[in-house]
Every structure is written in structure tokens, then in C-alpha cells.
Amino acid sequence: MKKKVIIVHGWGGYPEEGWFPWLKRELEKKGFTVTVPQMPNPEEPKIEAWVSHLAEVVGEPDEHTYFVGHSIGCQTILRYLETIDAKVGLPAQAGGAVLVAGFFDVLTGLEGEEERAIVKPWLETPIDFEKVKQAADNFVAILSDNDPFVPLEENKKIFEEKLGARVFVESNKGHFSGPTDKCTELPITLEAVLALED
């Protein structure tokens, strides 16, 4: 069975940004097929457009389908999983997800009304965590202790309580973004994907 990983960039992101090319190369060395799609209109991400684009990229998920998300990409993955018509009591359809700098209903450090308006639907549209867990039952969250946008404690709590995620807190990684945080390699993501597979 072919193992595949889909890496979903964040708001304003792109496939060659930051640590994505490094992770793609490392996973390919381990025999994974890796896709890093360019998400539509990244400067103004919209839930419906991003979720439907991800669904197209994925095709038919199976237990060898894994996801890695960054920031709003994490929400995109969870909202995509929520749309999979998973049957209660049957095995999960996807292998799991590694969620880096993911957030739920609070984001800090936003600049101005325009940014707040763009992110508002992402913060206010609820996620059905039970449906998400039926579609995939293995989650890892990676957060930073100095992320200017993602408050650590409340997001850590949601990941643990709502998704049963294993949470790792990295030191001084900011928002794990290539341009601002000079984050071009992120070994913990590789370890986390390989652990999902076990």
C-alpha cells in the first residue's frame, strides 16, 4: 500500500516555504509520496475553497493517508476530515495528522480589521470533533512556547481534550514560519509522521 502525506501550508503560505521542502524530501527518502498543494488565494483563505481543494488533492483517503498542516492549514485538515462520511465503529479512513501551530477559537497579534475579517469564519465556525475523530484517530499537535499568534495553554488544552492529540511544545520556534522565524527544518514533524505510521 502506498503511503502518502499531504502537507497543507498556512495563511499567506506556499509549497516552497520554510520547512515544507525539507520535510517533503525527508519523507520521500522514507518511501512516502508527498504532495504540497498550493492552496487557493492564500492571502484571503476561505474555509469552503480550502477544504474542497484539499478534498480534490486527496482523492480517496485510506489508512495510509497522512496529513501535516501549518497554522490555518491545520484547521483546513480538521475541517476536511469532518466532511468524510466515516461510519461509527468502522476503522478510520485516514492514518492521522500532524498539526503545527494549529489554533481554534482565538488568534492573537492580528494586524487590523482586514486580518480580523479574514480569520473570523475560521475562529467562529465550529468543528465537529467527534466526526473528525471518526475519520482519523491519530493526532499530534506541535506548538511553540513563544508563538505570537497561537496562545499555548488554551490551544494545547483543546488539542488534548477534543482530539486526544499528543502535544509537543517546542522552545522559541515562534509560529514555525520560514520567512519570519527562519524555520527551514523541523525534525519533530518527521518523527511525528513516522510515529503515526507505527
Q: What is the pLDDT of residues 78-128, one digit of tens each?
A: 999 999 976 656 666 899 999 999 999 989 999 899 999 999 999 999 999
Instruction: Return the pLDDT at 87.
Output: 64
Pair type for strands 139-144 and 96-100: parallel
Domain 4-197 has CATH 3.40.50.1820: yes
pTM, entire model: 0.96
- Using 50 as the pLDDT threshold, list the residues of the chain that sit under it: none
Count of residues for the chain? 198
- Mind giving me the DSSP string for 162-193? HH--EEEEESS-TT--HHHH-----HHHHHHH
Amino acid at 2: K
Q: Where are the domains of the chain?
A: 4-197
